Amino acid sequence: MTRILVTLGIILVIVGVAWPWLATLGLGRLPGDIVIERGNYRFYFPLTTMILLSLFLSLLLWLFRK
């Protein structure tokens, strides 16, 4: 369990550091991502981005298990 938590922490740090570069790829601004802006309120739900990342990570984990 400790190994999994440490690995997840390292992955989160790497994604956090790489986020400016990842933002230039267009992730988070895909068709299907929900953005509602009203006055000084902004609601953002990256539906399509989450589905694509889930598919990519599932494929990656499936390949590493084989």
For residues 64 and 46, is the Cβ–Cβ distance under 8 A? Answer: no
Model confidence pLDDT, tens digit, residues 6-20: 988 998 898 888 878
What pLDDT, on the 0 to 100 scale, is given for residue 51?
93
21-64 pLDDT, tens digit each = 877 877 778 899 999 999 999 998 989 989 998 999 899 888 88
